[in-house]
Amino acid sequence: MKYLIVGLGNIGEEYTNTRHNIGFSILNALAEASDAVFTPCRYGDKAELRVKSNILVLLKPSTYVNLSGNAVRYWLKKLEVPDENLLVVVDDLALPFGNLRIRKQGSDGGHNGLKHIIQVLGRQEFARMRFGIGTGEKTFNQVNYVLGEWTPEEKDQLSGYIKTATEAIVSFTLIGISRTMSLFNRK
């Protein structure tokens, strides 16, 4: 089976270590653990790896987060990946730092990348994994926070959380979305 795993983030050095780029960071870790290498392609950077008999195509769109739907639509069609084998990895300000929330479908939840993907695909029925970047605070400059770099305390914990996220991606490809949700969704 072939899977398309899309990690959302923004291209450019100024965004590399920001919270908004957690999708890129998670895919980088997954590729690195498998000795897969990202190469430039249409609409982004792409890497392929095998997990048992499955082929995972990892995509980091170069369209910036807010226009990610163009890359997703193109690669779904080009690779002939079934809709149920798409997983989009995004940051989520509403979730506490490090928490994962995996869903089969749903709204954009205020995430502009998901909003554009839904708009371009014309449907909400695709799997997504949200990675919590939230602080629990309600009053602060959200744009600066999301586009800001990780704090030293967050950096200390980040690699463990990213490892869990990569395990959830592999689980999605091996045992499916429902069982993966029950294993990795935490309160």
CATH code for the domain in which residue 121 is found:
3.40.50.1470
Mean pLDDT across the chain:
94
pLDDT at 110: 85
Judge whether 116 counts as a catalytic residue.
no
Q: What range does the domain containing 102 cover?
A: 2-184
Q: Which two tokens stand for residue 179?
A: 């069982």
pLDDT at 138: 65
CA angle at residue 76 from 50 to 180, to 5 degrees?
55
Provide the number of structural domains found in the chain.
1
**CA separation, residue 139 to residues 131, 134, 136, 142, 145 (Å):** 21, 12, 9, 8, 11
What is the pLDDT confidence band of residue 143, given thresholds at 50, 70 and 90? confident
As to burial, measured by CB atoms within 10 angstroms (0-12 exposed, 13-18 middle, 19+ buried), residue 119 is exposed
pLDDT at 171: 97
Residue among 7, 8, 20, 22 flagged as catalytic: 20
Residue 122's Cβ-side half-sphere holds a number of Cα atoms within 13 Å equal to: 0
Q: Rounded distance, CA 6 to CA 158, Å?
A: 20
Q: Rounded distance, CA 78 to CA 74, Å?
A: 6
List, for residues 16-61, the tens digit of each pLDDT value.
Answer: 999 999 999 999 999 999 999 999 999 999 999 999 999 999 999 9
